[in-house]
């Protein structure tokens, strides 16, 4: 098969490098599969194109519009994913490995489009937190908001996940309204290029939203500004080099690093050889050693086990690894593919030699080529370090391949200290059924790990395991892991936005965020708001109800009718002794029910359903003889379907003196 010449996508067109072509070889047989170069690109022009075209177009869209883009891209990739699977074999990945990379990446897009529609407003500004009262009379208040950065996101990705590594960065970036320039690792860039082509051919992205560099980044960093973000995945050495670039320092360019780390897995001190957690631990360590041939940034590098179980765990692990032989990833019988390249194999061999100074190899021969000499195949390698506190390399050196080291510990305090010697990791898994030990691990070791996965007999059927970063959860870690943070649901979106404090009159704040802010001028309802359709309800449209007195008979009837005969409602002597009430009071839910009775319009109309209350607070007790009144105000609106929209109502219930007794957000679905 003739090698393909990869192309860059810059300034809205595909461009082949003008020289200095690098050969990319198959991990299976060493054949040249692609040629790549970025020579001739104008990197300054690429940044300008992103900022002048992609950025404004994305920022003009709402969060919901951007979420729809992600959905369309996910559908396009799904429809053509078999093309990606076929290319992926040359990276050394088995079908199962490619599923993690390709379907996992598409799944990240799917999660973020859903979260964008559900958790973000149909707006371009994101409110962060509650309104802050900054003055006595409420004429000067504060809000925190997020707005899109006005630069570009430069994504520098690692070789091990050419699809997922790109998509897990693009999802929050696009949702934030920021264009991206993707720079994949050269070794597997042919797979990334194919995925980019599929996304661009879907014809849903604005011009300039996505560009691709398949080669060196040249002088790209020289042109970065404070509005740009560099998001990096790879080695600590490369991260340190990039992070120290003078422009990164001078312009305070955001730099997010997700580095490889010495992730650990702990077999809890409560576990015995016949406990379910023992087998689960052995299975997970073996899986993390062999999935993607151990080339995962989250792979288990140190398996920490009670000293008394070291031999038993070693025997059980070897028995599993003996069944995992490397082979051609296209062969259905293969259980582990190849490393990504010959150079990667030589790096793993060198790192194993370093580890062997502190530990003994108890399984595998790192010098052997178990399939063929031209491919980047290596056998799984298990080491054992009997004196972990005297060791250095075991806690400092990572062999980025199918390599793990067994490490014994004495007790709970010892294993926590050993785990922390890794100086920061992306993830640590703990196999225990002891909740006290689980809490001790979090308190003693949480500061050193970006994620802690507790796996036991109760969670295993649905657990995603040690090495699967989920889009909903933080991916990143302190220290050796880079100190950065990716994913984490909507948190990941805000990494590409600026958090700003807004201060001003409620009228101004409301106009800026397009949401009701307490204290702003309101439009008094001339027609009951429940008679108006979604599009006919302006923000700040307010109904003030008549008042209703709450009697002792109301309280007693409600108590007997609902069965809630709590003493504060029924026993005058006991209620009088309560320092919060000083006598009988109305039920909180009676107040809600009576409030609804005051503002609900009973006839059929645009309100299709009441489906929830948010932020409910009972602020002040209501005693028999007091009266309540309701202010119902349109707070926010989100169109969910072409003919339906969610209305968020601000509900404030006051007493006869005008004091707030209850407050909450009411959610209704209204016809548009």
Q: Can you tell me the distance from the alpha carbon of 468 to that of 340, in angstroms, rounded to the nearest whole number?
A: 20
The H or E element that residue 667 is part of is: strand 660-671
How many CB atoms are located within 10 Å of the residue 36 CB?
27
Identify whether the C-beta of residue 159 lies closer than 8 Å to the C-beta of residue 185: yes
Q: Could you tell me the two tokens for 580?
A: 């919060």
Q: Is 258 a catalytic residue?
A: yes
Taking residue 645's Cβ as centre, other Cβ atoms within 10 Å add up to 22
- Give the three-class secondary structure for 621: coil
Catalytic residue among 51, 168, 193, 258: 258
Q: How many CB atoms lie within 10 A of CB 498?
A: 14
Which residues, 6 or more positions from 204, have their beta carbon under 8 angstroms from its beta carbon? 69, 72, 73, 76
CA distance 39 to 366: 37
Point out which residues pair with 484 in neighbouring strands: 477
Question: Residues 366, 378: contact at Cβ < 8 Å?
Answer: yes
Q: Torsion over CA of 10, 16, 18 and 24, rounded to 10 degrees?
A: 120
51 has catalytic annotation: no
Whether residue 163 contacts residue 195, with contact meaning beta carbons closer than 8 Å, is answered with yes
Residue with tokens 């023992």: 278
Residues comprising the chain, all counted: 672
Q: Which of 277, 297, 385, 485 is catalytic?
A: 297
Q: Which helix (H) or strand (E) holds 14?
A: strand 13-16
Alpha-carbon span 394 to 356, nearest angstrom: 9
Residue 473 φ/ψ, nearest 5 degrees: -115, 155
| DSSP tag of 53 | I
Q: How far is it, in rounded angstroms, from Cα 467 to Cα 285?
A: 10
Cα(650)–Cα(637) distance, integer angstroms:
12
Which of these, 382, 367, 369, lies nearest to 305 by C-alpha position?
Answer: 382
Short-list 21, 140, 252, CA closest to 508: 140
Treating both helix axes as pointing N-terminal to C-terminal, what angle do 164-176 and 63-79 enclose, rounded to 10 degrees?
160
3-state secondary structure of 430: strand
What's the CA gap between 584 and 624, in Å, rounded?
A: 7
Catalytic residues: 258, 297
């Amino acid at each position: 098969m003739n090698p393909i010449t990869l192309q860059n996508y810059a300034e809205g067109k595909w461009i082949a490098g003008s020289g200095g072509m690098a050969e990319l070889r198959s991990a299976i047989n060493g054949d040249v599969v692609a040629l790549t170069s970025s020579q001739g690109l104008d990197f300054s022009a690429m940044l300008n194109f992103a900022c002048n075209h992609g950025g404004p177009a994305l920022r003009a869209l709402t969060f919901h519009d951007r979420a729809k883009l992600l959905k369309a891209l996910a559908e396009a990739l799904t429809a053509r994913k078999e093309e990606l699977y076929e290319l992926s074999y040359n990276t050394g990945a088995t079908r199962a490995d490619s599923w993690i990379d390709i379907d996992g990446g598409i799944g990240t897009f799917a999660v973020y489009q859903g979260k964008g529609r559900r958790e973000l407003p149909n707006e371009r500004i994101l409110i962060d937190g509650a309104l802050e009262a900054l003055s006595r009379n409420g004429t000067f208040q504060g809000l925190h908001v997020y707005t899109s950065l006005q630069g570009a996101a430069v994504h520098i990705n690692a070789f091990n996940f050419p699809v997922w590594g790109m998509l897990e960065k693009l999802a929050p970036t696009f949702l934030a309204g920021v264009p991206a320039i993707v720079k994949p690792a050269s070794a597997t860039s042919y797979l990334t290029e194919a995925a980019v082509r599929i996304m661009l051919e879907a014809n849903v992205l604005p011009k300039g939203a996505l560009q691709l560099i398949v080669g060196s980044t040249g002088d790209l960093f020289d042109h970065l500004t404070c509005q740009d973000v560099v998001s990096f995945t790879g080695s600590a050495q490369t991260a340190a080099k990039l992070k120290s670039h003078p422009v990164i320092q001078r312009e305070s360019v955001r730099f997010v690093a997700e580095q490889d780390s010495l992730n650990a897995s702990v077999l809890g001190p409560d576990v015995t050889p016949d406990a379910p957690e023992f087998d689960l631990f052995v299975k997970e360590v073996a899986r993390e050693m062999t999935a993607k041939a151990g080339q995962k940034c989250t792979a288990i590098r140190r398996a920490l086990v009670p000293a008394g179980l070291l031999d038993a765990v070693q025997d059980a692990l070897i028995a599993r690894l003996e069944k995992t032989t490397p082979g051609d990833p296209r062969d259905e019988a293969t259980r582990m593919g190849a490393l990504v390249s010959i150079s990667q194999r030589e790096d793993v061999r060198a790192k194993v030699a370093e580890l062997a100074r502190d530990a003994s190899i108890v399984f595998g021969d790192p010098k052997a080529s178990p399939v063929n000499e031209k491919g980047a195949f290596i056998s799984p390698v298990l080491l054992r370090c009997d004196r972990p506190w005297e060791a250095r390399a075991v806690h400092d050196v990572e062999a980025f391949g199918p390599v793990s080291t067994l490490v014994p510990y004495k007790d709970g305090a010892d294993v926590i200290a050993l785990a922390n010697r890794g100086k920061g990791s992306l993830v640590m898994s703990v196999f225990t059924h002891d909740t006290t030990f689980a809490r001790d691990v979090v308190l003693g070791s949480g500061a050193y790990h970006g994620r802690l996965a507790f796996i036991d007999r109760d969670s295993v059927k649905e657990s995603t395991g040690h090495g699967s970063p989920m889009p909903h959860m933080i991916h990143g870690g302190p220290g050796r892991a880079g100190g950065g943070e990716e994913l984490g649901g909507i948190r990941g979106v805000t990494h590409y936005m600026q958090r700003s404090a807004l201060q001003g009159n409620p009228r101004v704040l409301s106009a800026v965020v397009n949401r009701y802010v307490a204290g702003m001028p309101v439009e008094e309802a001339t027609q009951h708001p429940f008679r108006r359709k979604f599009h006919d309800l302006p923000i700040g449209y307010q109904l003030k109800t008549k008042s209703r007195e709450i009697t002792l008979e109301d309280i007693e009837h409600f108590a007997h009718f609902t069965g809630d005969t709590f003493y504060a409602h029924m026993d005058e002597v006991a209620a009088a002794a309560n320092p919060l009430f000083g006598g009988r009071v109305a039920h909180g839910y009676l107040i809600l029910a009576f409030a609804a009775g005051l503002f609900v319009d009973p006839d059929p109309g645009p309100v299709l359903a009441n489906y929830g209350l948010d932020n409910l607070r009972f602020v002040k007790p209501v005693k028999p003889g007091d009266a309540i009144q309701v202010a119902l105000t349109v707070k926010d609106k989100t169109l969910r379907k072409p003919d339906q929209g969610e209305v968020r109502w601000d509900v404030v219930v006051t007493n006869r003196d005008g004091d707030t007794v209850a407050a909450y957000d009411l959610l209704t679905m209204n016809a548009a």
